[in-house]
Amino acid sequence: MASVANVELYGTSTCPYTSEMREHLQWRRIAFTEYDVERDPSARARLQTLTGSHAGVPVLVEDGRVKEIGWRGRTCLVP
């Protein structure tokens, strides 16, 4: 039996691309934990560590590794 990956979605509530990535994950029935980096300073710090200070969302992380930055080549900048 294959193990289930730990999937995390880092984004913001105002970014339409975060919403699109969330909907895609839900449609594919992939379980994930979502973090709003504008409201959660510790999530923002983790995101900066994972991406090397990349300032765009959404970011999809699987088992502690960045799998995808942006949704279909589009990102929202995080101030």
Residue 40: the pLDDT is 95
Give tens-digit pLDDT for 50-72: 998 777 999 999 999 999 999 99
Residue 2 has pLDDT above 90, yes or no: no
List Cα–Cα distances, 18 to 2, 5, 12, 42, 46, in angstroms: 28, 20, 7, 18, 17
Give tens-digit pLDDT for 37-47: 999 999 999 99
Sign of torsion over alpha carbons 28, 62, 67, 73:
positive
| Domains recognised in the chain with CATH numbers | 7-77 (3.40.30.10)
